[in-house]
Chain A
Amino acid sequence: MSAQTQQGKALPGSLAANPLLAQWLRFKPEGTVEVSPGKVEIGQGILTALMQIVADELDIEPARVKLKAASTARSPNEGVTSGSLSVQQCGIALRHACAEARAMFVAAAAERLGVEAGSLAVEDGTIIGPENARTSYWELADLVPLDAPASGKVAPKPATARKYAGHSAARVDIPDKVFGRPRYIHDLKLPRMLHGRVLRPLTRGAALVALNEEAARAIPGFVALARDGNFVGVLAETEAAAERCLALLRSQAEWRGGEELPDEATLTDWLKSQPVETKTVDSRETAAAGSPAGHMRRQYSRPFIAHGSIAPSCALARWEGAGVHVWTHSQGIYNLRAELAAVLKLSPEEVVVEHAEGAGCYGHNGADDVALDAALLARAADGRPVRVLWTREDELTRAPFGAAMAVEIEAELDGEGEILRWRHELWSNGHTARPSRGSNPVLLAASELAEPFPHVVSTNPPLPAGGAERNAVPIYDFPAWHIISHRLLVMPVRVSALRSLGAFANVFAIESFIDELAAERGEDPVAFRLRYLGNPRARAVLEAAAGRAGWGSRRGGEGTGYGVALARYKNMGAYCAVVAEVEGEEDVRVRRLVLAVDVGEAINPDGVRNQIEGGAIQATSWTLKEAVRFDRTRITSDNWEDYPILKFSEVPAVEVEILSRPEESPVGAGEAAQGPVAGAIANAVFDALGVRVRSLPITRDNIIAAMELS
């Protein structure tokens, strides 16, 4: 339930669900402010942006802000750190909570000093009145009751009064990382800690029919074997011993059955021939949509894509009496807690879930799965803490993937090739099977237990953000459109949320198709887009990217090409336009990407730039190289040679221009570049080679296939 202000308006951001100020802020006697946000650091630099916001509203130096790891024992429940929403939800909540706290402290100071509140100023937490009368947040901490709900009546500072937000700040986590100090969950070492490893079949859902434990038990350092149905794990005193035990168990385990996978060679046809749930995403019809003189139809696709974090997933767990304490790099500690409680048959209060930083997280990866693995193995550890680390193979084959998609777009055109009607139809698994979104647990081991939970078929988050249908509605002012989404009701390949969800394929398809229409008319792709684009912020990013990239004076030909694309993430988040410059014949290399973005207020401009650069480079990798490989029984791309990603020598130059809009609401930057980058690269490939590649990735094989098709 959402808390409301006294005027009946919902409190801003995550304050609505977590209105108590004490959940957000604690003033410590040593002169610091402890903040334990529910959103977590996943490599995106959110902690630094939050620190800037808190320092501004409280009028303190950023160094006084102490960010504490999120834990279900103390942090507000902010759901999942996903969807590029941390600044909108958590940052805005903190901004308002701090503004209220500051006002309460100033009122308390006025009373103590016997002066008007209006005569007081705050400097680095010291509250100063006329004739140098002084007190401070920390002196008054006992008098100010922060265990009260926010009123919603105190307005934060105007943008012009902010000292830190809006300016680039050095990230707080970087020094630890360059000096190699312990920082990640992988580095946590608890007293008497054991190491656990889990044995899993190559074929998902296979049954364990024979297991020889003797050899593993003979390894020095072996502690225990934990088995529950098809879930098997081993505990040892050292990591090396745990790995040796696992190798022995694996070599002598016999599995039978399991799920059959589709034929990789005909994946798009497979997507379009499965049982589906169909819905109309959006529909519009206006008088301007006259009768057509012609039409064009094209199909685009993307394969399954892996998260490919550089660190395998890791978790720690320790049973304490009837309850369990879990350390995790999950994006959603409360949802994970609910899910663990359901599987372990505990009440949520018996489970404490604490966040510790992992490596880069780009969606629902193996973090939640390994947390359950650790909790299950720790049951056999007699109260000792257990650390479980997945293998690289686990990470590339057993974590959920981003879903494969097929997108068909058809346009009805008038005699001049202008767009009258637009039809976008997509086939895909749902893009979310996150913990605690449905009635059954989704964690990997839950389906392996002696009393198994069924495999969950992923679904789509509700519109307007949507999942598979994210960004399926065009940003252009076409007179009429019809957008249809088919969600697969079977899921042989495990999928869930990956950065930008369906937006990657939808924007790739829309922006490719727009380019094809412009090419048919012989019209400049930027000019063609602008004629259909009424939204001034969308026009501004497109013009900025084109201007900075020198679009008007570009010179293609000779194996060099330029392409452009744009989108507004979720149709309600950040605007992003991209110009790509590519070179190549059979192997395509992206030479340069120029991006212009509008994220509203940019709290940490360098942080925004870093997120956009990173998103653009990752999207280049997806677009040029990445596809999960499989045969009929198993995922075969289980190492970095079989699942190659973009290398340093292949990374394009990336330029980012941020259109500054400090008065606009801040929106996230993390996912805005994914779709536009794919579209711009594909369009540039067409410009360079005259070949339209509609199946991602744009590899040599797919270019040759596209040449043969045309």
Chain B
Amino acid sequence: MPGTSKAMAERVELRINGAETAVEADPASPLLGVLRETLGLTGSRFGCGAGLCGACFVLIDGHAVPSCDTPLWATAGKEVTTVEGLGTPEHPHPLQQAFIEEQAMQCGYCVSGILISAAALLRRNTDPSEAEVREALDRNLCRCGAHNRMVRAVLKAARGKGTA
């Protein structure tokens, strides 16, 4: 029954982008809302609320997961990385650098989630084929049609990492 489960705010401890933090929130509430509204980490985007578009992806212990669909309690004891935690303008992640070089987007709304999926891929496979990149990004939707630029950027970042 809707309404019978009262939202109870509790102190929840999180480890986000390498830092320990704590929030007062309902442990059942989605991680995305806490990231965006409470912690001001707006790089993770809301797209569908059902884990079907990838715009809200974050890394949890290195795996790309939809933060819109992940309850806060499920992150207990785990490392959460958002797009803000991948790199900074001063120290960009190779993927971020490659996306700039390839001008790999149009509107860019899907890009945070795609960077996260790509980062998860490169953690488990440092030298992916083009088909493996496409498969790894298949859970992320892009409506503007910048797919091929993004695939090129991911391959470029992978190669750069290999030769650096």
Check if A179 sits within 8 Å of B134, measured CB to CB: no
B144 at the interface (CB under 8 A from A): yes
Name B72-114 residues within 8 Å CB distance of A: 82-84, 87-89, 92, 96, 99-100, 103, 105-112
When distances are taken between beta carbons in the complex, the residues of chain B under 8 Å from A360 are 106-107, 109, 143-144
CB distance from B32 to the nearest CB of A (A): 10
Contact of A179 among B30, B40, B96, B131 (CB under 8 A): B96
The answer to whether A648 and B144 have CB atoms under 8 Å apart is: no
Q: Are A181 and B7 CB-contacts (below 8 A) given A248-B2, A615-B145?
A: no
Q: Is the CB of B151 closer than 8 A to any CB of chain A? A: yes
- A383 within 8 Å of B by Cβ? no
Q: Is the CB of A239 closer than 8 A to any CB of chain B?
A: yes
Partner of A215, one of B3, B96, B140, B149: B3
Cβ-closest chain A residue relative to B83: A180
How far does the alpha carbon of A289 sit from the alpha carbon of B139 in the complex, in Å?
55
Give chain A residues whose Cβ lies under 8 Å from the Cβ of B87.
179
Contact partner of A613 among B7, B99, B100, B148, CB < 8 A? Answer: B148
Partner of A648, one of B2, B29, B92, B140: B140
Interface residues of A in 622-653 (CB under 8 A from B): 639-641, 645-649, 651, 653
Please determine whether B7 and A219 come into contact, CB atoms closer than 8 angstroms: yes
Using CB atoms, name the residue of chain B closest to A180: B43
A215, A308, A310, A618, most chain B CB atoms within 10 A: A310
| B3→A248 contact, CB < 8 A | yes
Supposing A310-B47, A614-B146, A616-B145 touch, asked if A179 and B88 sit within 8 A by C-beta, the answer is: yes
Q: B55 on the interface (CB 8 Å rule)?
A: yes
Whether, in the assembled complex, A389 has its beta carbon less than 8 Å from a beta carbon of chain B, the answer is yes
- Shortest Cβ distance from residue A281 to the other chain B in the assembled complex, whole angstroms: 30
Which B residues, 125 to 150, have Cβ-Cβ distances below 8 Å to chain A?
A: 131, 133-135, 137-138, 140-150
CB <8 Å contact, A639 and B52: yes
Chain B residues within 8 Å of A178, by CB: 83, 92, 96, 99-100, 105, 108, 111, 115
> B164 CB to closest chain A CB, in angstroms?
19
A212 CB to nearest B CB, Å: 10
CA distance A604 to B120 in the complex (A): 33
Fill in one digit per residue for A303-337: 1 if any B CB lies within 8 Å of its CB, else 0: 00000111110000000000000000000000000
Q: Is the CB of B84 within 8 A of A186?
A: no
Main secondary structure of the interface of A (DSSP, over half): loop
B26-48 vs A: 1/0 string, CB under 8 Å? 10011001001100111111111
Contact B146 A177 (CB under 8 A): no
* B residues in contact with A309, CB < 8 Å: 107, 109, 143
Q: Cβ of B50 and Cβ of A639 under 8 Å apart?
A: yes
User: Is the pair B111, A177 in contact by a Cβ cutoff of 8 Å?
Assistant: yes
List the A side residues contacting B89 at CB < 8 Å.
175, 179
A189 CA / B38 CA spacing, docked (Å) = 12
With A and B bound together, what is the CA distance between A641 and B51 in angstroms?
A: 11
User: Is A654 part of the binding interface, using a Cβ–Cβ cutoff of 8 Å?
Assistant: yes
**Is residue A44 contacting chain B, with contact meaning CB distance below 8 A?**
yes
Given the complex, which residues of A lie within 8 Å of B134, measured CB to CB?
Answer: 648-649, 651
Tell me the bound Cα distance from A66 to B7 in angstroms: 46
Bound Cα distance A192, B126 (Å): 46
Asked if residues B144 and A240 are in contact (CB atoms below 8 Å), the reply is no
CB-CB < 8 A to B146: which residues of A? 610, 613-614
Contact of B147 among A241, A310, A651 (CB under 8 A): A651
Whether B103 pairs with A389 at a CB distance below 8 angstroms is: no
- Asked whether A186 lies within 8 Å of B42 as measured between CB atoms, the reply is yes
Contact of A610 with B107 at beta-carbon distance under 8 Å, contacts A311-B55, A640-B141 already known: no
A614 to chain B: closest residue by CB: B145
Q: How many A-B residue pairs have CB under 8 A?
A: 180
CB distance from B48 to the nearest CB of A (A): 4
Query: In the complex, what's the smallest C-beta–C-beta distance from A374 to chain B, in angstroms?
Result: 16
| Of A23-31, A127-135, A166-174, the one with at least 4 CB within 8 A of chain B | A166-174
Which residues on A sit within 8 Å (CB–CB) of B52? 639-641
Partner of A187, one of B42, B83, B141: B42
Min CB distance A71 to B, Å, is 21
Measured CB to CB, the nearest residue on chain B to A169 is: B103
Nearest B residue to A174, CB-CB: B100
Q: Verify B47–A311 contact, CB threshold 8 A.
A: yes
Given known contacts A179-B87, A179-B96, A641-B52, A610 and B43 CB-to-CB distance under 8 angstroms: no
A379 within 8 Å of B by Cβ?
Answer: no
Is A308 touching B143 in the complex (CB atoms < 8 A)?
yes
- Among residues of A, the one whose C-beta sits closest to the C-beta of B38 is A238
**In the complex, A589 has a CB within 8 A of chain B:** no
Contact B137 A174, beta carbon cutoff 8 Å = no
What 1/0 mask marks residues of chain B from 51 to 76 whose CB sits below 8 Å from any chain A CB?
01101000000000000000000000
Residues of B within 8 A of A187 (CB): 42
* Cβ of A399 to closest chain B Cβ, rounded Å: 13
Report the minimum CB–CB distance from A8 to chain B (whole Å): 41
B141–A645 contact, CB under 8 A?
yes
CB contacts (< 8 Å) of B41 on chain A: these are 180
Beyond A360-B107, A614-B146, A648-B134, whether A175 also contacts B100 by CB under 8 A is: yes
* A244 contact set on B, CB distance < 8 A: 7
Tell whether A606 is near chain B: CB-to-CB under 8 Å. yes
- Which of the listed residues B47, B52, B84, B143 has the most CB atoms from chain A within 10 Å of its own CB? B143
Nearest CB of A to B16, in Å? 13
Q: In the assembly, what is the distance between CA of A171 and CA of B106, in Å?
A: 9
| Complex CA distance for A602 and B105, rounded to whole angstroms | 19
Assuming A180-B84, A181-B43, A310-B109, is B141 touching A647 (CB within 8 A)? yes
CA distance A178 to B105 in the complex (A): 9
Q: How far is the CA of A523 from the CA of B74 in the complex (A)?
A: 64
Q: How far is the CA of A90 from the CA of B150 in the complex (A)?
A: 30
CB neighbours of A651 from chain B (8 A): 134, 145, 147-148
Residues of A contacting B26 in the complex (Cβ-Cβ under 8 angstroms) = 240
CA distance A187 to B37 in the complex (A): 9
Residue A359 interfacial (CB < 8 Å): yes
Pick from B50, B106, B149: contact of A43, CB under 8 Å:
B106
Our pick among B84, B99, B107, B147 for the contact of A42 (Cβ within 8 Å) is B107
Contact, CB under 8 Å: A177 / B105:
yes
Check B44–A310 contact: CB distance below 8 A: no
Q: Which residue of A is nearest B114, CB measured?
A: A648
A186-B45 in contact (CB<8A): yes
- Give the residues in chain B near A183, CB-CB below 8 Å: 108
* A interface residues with partner B (beta carbon < 8 Å): 42-45, 170-171, 173-175, 177-184, 186-187, 189, 215, 218-220, 238-241, 244, 247-248, 251, 308-312, 357-362, 389, 391-392, 606, 610-611, 613-618, 621, 639-641, 645-649, 651, 653-654
Ordered nearest first, which 7 A-B pairs have the shortest CB separation? A180-B43, A43-B107, A617-B145, A177-B108, A614-B145, A360-B107, A359-B109
30 examples of A-B residue contacts, CB within 8 angstroms: A43-B144, A174-B100, A174-B108, A175-B89, A177-B105, A178-B92, A179-B83, A179-B89, A180-B43, A180-B44, A180-B112, A218-B3, A238-B37, A239-B37, A251-B2, A309-B107, A310-B53, A311-B46, A358-B109, A359-B107, A359-B109, A392-B48, A610-B149, A613-B148, A617-B147, A618-B144, A648-B150, A648-B151, A651-B148, A653-B148
* Given A610-B149, A639-B52, A645-B143, 20 new contacts (CB under 8 A): A175-B100, A177-B111, A178-B92, A178-B99, A248-B2, A251-B2, A308-B143, A309-B143, A312-B46, A312-B47, A359-B107, A610-B146, A613-B146, A617-B148, A618-B145, A641-B52, A647-B141, A648-B133, A648-B134, A651-B148
